[in-house]
Homo-oligomer: A and B are copies of this chain.
C-alpha cells in the first residue's frame, strides 16, 4: 500500500500528463515490489514558481533571467 507524493512546478501540466505520472508510478510499485495497485496512492502537488527555490532563487526569477534553455 505505497504512498507516492510527486512535487513539481506549476507550469501547465495537463490532465493527460498527470494521468501518465500516476499510471507510471503505480506501475513501478507493481513491477518492482509486487504491490497492489488498488491500494497504491499517487498524489501530485503543483508548486507555484514563487514558492519553489533552487540555488538561492525562486524559480520564477530563474525563468525571467534565463535566455538559454531553462532548468526544468
For residue A32, CB closer than 8 A to chain B, the reply is yes
> What is the oligomeric copy number?
6
B17-A21 in contact (CB<8A):
no
Q: How many residues on A have C-beta within 8 angstroms of the other chain's C-beta atoms?
A: 55
Which label, helix, strand, loop or mixed, suits the secondary structure of the A interface? Answer: mixed
Digit string of A1-40 for contact with B (CB within 8 Å is 1, else 0)? 1111111110001010111111111111101111111111
User: What's the Cα separation between A26 and B26 when bound, in Å?
Assistant: 13
- The verdict on A72 contacting B1 (CB below 8 Å), with A33-B13, A39-B39, A54-B39 known, is yes
Q: Which 9 A-B pairs have the closest CB atoms?
A: A22-B53, A42-B53, A24-B28, A44-B51, A3-B7, A5-B5, A20-B32, A38-B55, A2-B8
